[in-house]
Structure 1
């Protein structure tokens, strides 16, 4: 009886991780396939509509930086529940309103909800899946990206069925409600209440800042793709459904990479070779969008998706590698994601601004290529020796990072 109960608890843990991940990107990716209709009804420019992607990401960054205090005050259980309620509320409001102001406010509300969950999940995974951290992060990352792809694919279908773009945005309250019920009824096995105090000081640490910069820049392309990839092809006379399906196609390869690359990472300690492959795939995909956008769009999007899916999961794994204890790992991951998402928030806004200035998305894709190649060069500094030797001598309960790392 006991083994069966243990297996059931394990399955519940995996199901909850997937359910949480599925709710973290529809607030972003449901916008782009419907952008032309939204702009037509609200009068938003390309640059102002970019805020619909940038504002949630800014929230993700700011709330993640407060993750330690939020966790201490709310605890994981209430914090995640509040995040899901905020996502649900944002989708419900979008279903009922059609003004630009409503879209911007709900971008903030939904983004804050996403940020709450993202700030709490890494430490939860580090504790709950002690022997399978890389795999669990891969499943979480894959479900996160899968949710984004489903939203891009289904939002225009739902909007077309109801002849209302608001329906395509608001329908995502349903998975948020389902996840909230699962979270409340099936809490993680071995759930422990939050203790007070801080054991890590990433603000004072050069390696923490380097990890944050790296996380931000290797994942910048995702926010630009979510915000502007369908719009790029809409301008080439693709339909909303076709352009949205292209984003969903990209997500297939994100999910594959987010599952496969962490599984490969589980076999060793050096993340650099896998990161190099992932960044190279991104660079080739963006180059294809610049040079041959109509010749093989699915090839370029597949490369971009594979690279982005792998980079998100691997950069989180790399961050958690620097800390032995779940609590310190959670604090470092919150800091890295906080700064990283603030960097990410610049990407869709900058892309929209460059589109306004030049009349084309090409210059923005070149900026992404330069950023990816720069991070490919930087990858070499993340040798396991630069942090694992210190981990062996760190006292229990503290960060493996030193102020001079």
Structure 2
């Protein structure tokens, strides 16, 4: 077998061979939707709806949270960085959990833990805020990994459509949370605590809708997964390209997500309007979010699509770096369109570059473990550069510079090859 022109040597045991790469993909022909698939799709979309509000609701409120709890700038940096640390550290946990309990049961546990983490943030104390953020981030980390496996297993003939739907749902709720955080805080006597804790409500709804899946999961064996799959993935250049694309695009996304309101506020924009602009950056992403997976899935080679997406994103980064107060809405729209396409493209790479649901789960875990470890540098590095210089342009220059390696890894991940365990 060959991967990127490099011949893999044969291994005597199937359990210790590296992932093989094939130039063909087998996708099941689309069939009529069954009632179980409709209910499953509703559950998947509700899971997606709860994977970002616990994060995007925080950044517009960093200033009042810091003032209320007496947090230093480094305390706020830690609060902004906790979710991506959880994503990187806990993505591998999803694999043994799924093998032990099955996809359906683990997803229910994820949603329950998310409810608890969000509800804890109603307590008026810094430890409760940080503990709740860790719990919510941990739940989201596992949910991030399992959704691509569900899509590959149950919607193999509709990968582009379902991926586009769940990522669009994710973006809509992320945008809503960012846009209403400040108004919710101002409308409640609990202030920012209500704006953060209220998102436990939608998580409870997701739990209720997901419960019927347990009966179905009891009749299905967990996805077969060979131990040491992450180590096997680490031997594949293609897996590394997908992982680094995931990481570098996440670096830019979480850097902007965490610090954009603070950056805009420093150039004279009110907190409420800055939160609205963060919300708009997500809303304008919806068309590219919905369209990108289908465009990618219908094409054998995604290199042209990847190049266009990164060019638009880079222009937005440069504008925000050079003249953040001159045309902030233009830069926000460009960044929103670009980032709105990058994340679904990364998730589609995971599905397209894997030969089956087992490989999709392993590649998802590997990509998100490595990718989110890389992405930690986004909110952490951007916050640290601003704290050290008092200026935002060095922080944005750092984010813009990451587009160069992002293009290199994106072009490699765009080649029409697949990984088999």
TM-score using structure 1 length: 0.90
Q: 1:295 to 1:364 in 2, by over 3 A?
A: same
Which 10-residue stretch deviates more, 375-384 or 244-253? 375-384
In structure 2, how many angstroms separate the alpha carbons of the residues matched to 1:194 and 1:346?
Answer: 34
Quick check: 1:228 aligned with 2:228?
Answer: no
Deviations 1:192-223 (A, max 9, x none): 33045417421333332232122100221110
Shift of 1:111: 0.5
Aligned to 1:192: 220
Shift of 1:38: 0.4
- Please point out which of 151, 166, 171 is paired with 1:140: 166
Deviations 1:168-213 (A, max 9, x none): 0011001101111111135697883304541742133333223212
Maintained 8 Å contact 1:141/1:258: yes
Shift of 1:288: 1.0
In structure 2, how many angstroms separate the alpha carbons of the residues matched to 1:299 and 1:354?
Answer: 24
- Please point out which of 36, 40, 59 is paired with 2:63: 36
Aligned to 1:344: 375
In structure 2, how many angstroms separate the alpha carbons of the residues matched to 1:328 and 1:226?
Answer: 30
Shift of 1:229: 0.6
Quick check: 1:358 aligned with 2:389?
Answer: yes
Maintained 8 Å contact 2:225/2:358: no
- Please point out which of 78, 85, 92 is paired with 1:65: 92
Deviations 1:298-348 (A, max 9, x none): 211111111112111111212222221111111111110111111112210
In structure 1, how many angstroms separate the alpha carbons of the residues matched to 2:118 and 2:414?
Answer: 43
- Please point out which of 36, 39, 54 is paired with 1:27: 54
Counterpart of 2:121 in 1: which secondary structure? helix
Shift of 1:100: 2.2
Q: What is the aligned length?
A: 385
In structure 2, how many angstroms separate the alpha carbons of the residues matched to 1:105 and 1:56?
Answer: 11
Aligned to 1:332: 363
Aligned to 2:27: none
Counterpart of 1:131 in 2: which secondary structure? helix
Q: 1:204 to 1:374 in 2, by over 3 A?
A: closer
Aligned to 2:154: 128
Q: 1:305 to 1:187 in 2, by over 3 A?
A: farther
In structure 1, how many angstroms separate the alpha carbons of the residues matched to 2:391 and 2:57?
Answer: 22
Quick check: 1:104 aligned with 2:107?
Answer: no
Maintained 8 Å contact 1:55/1:108: yes
In structure 2, how many angstroms separate the alpha carbons of the residues matched to 1:113 and 1:348?
Answer: 20
1:5-404 equivalences in 2 (<5 Å):
6-95=33-122, 97-163=123-189, 164-185=191-212, 192-198=220-226, 200=229, 201-382=232-413, 384-385=415-416, 387-388=417-418, 398-399=420-421
Which 10-residue stretch deviates more, 111-120 or 289-298? 289-298
In structure 2, how many angstroms separate the alpha carbons of the residues matched to 1:241 and 1:189?
Answer: 45
Counterpart of 1:204 in 2: which secondary structure? coil
Q: 1:382 to 1:104 in 2, by over 3 A?
A: same
Shift of 1:7: 4.8
Deviations 1:42-78 (A, max 9, x none): 1112232122221121111121122221211221112
Q: Which runs of 5+ in 1 are unaligned?
A: 392-397, 400-405
In structure 1, how many angstroms separate the alpha carbons of the residues matched to 2:413 and 2:124?
Answer: 47
In structure 2, how many angstroms separate the alpha carbons of the residues matched to 1:313 and 1:156?
Answer: 28
In structure 1, how many angstroms separate the alpha carbons of the residues matched to 2:69 and 2:285?
Answer: 32
Q: 1:299 to 1:210 in 2, by over 3 A?
A: same
Which 10-residue stretch deviates more, 284-293 or 172-181? 284-293
Maintained 8 Å contact 2:171/2:285: yes
Which 10-residue stretch deviates more, 376-385 or 113-122? 376-385
More helix by share: 1
Maintained 8 Å contact 2:93/2:142: no
Q: 1:195 to 1:326 in 2, by over 3 A?
A: closer
In structure 1, how many angstroms separate the alpha carbons of the residues matched to 2:182 and 2:145?
Answer: 30
Q: RMSD of the TM alignment (CA)?
A: 2.0
Maintained 8 Å contact 2:303/2:415: no
Counterpart of 1:132 in 2: which secondary structure? helix
Maintained 8 Å contact 1:283/1:373: no
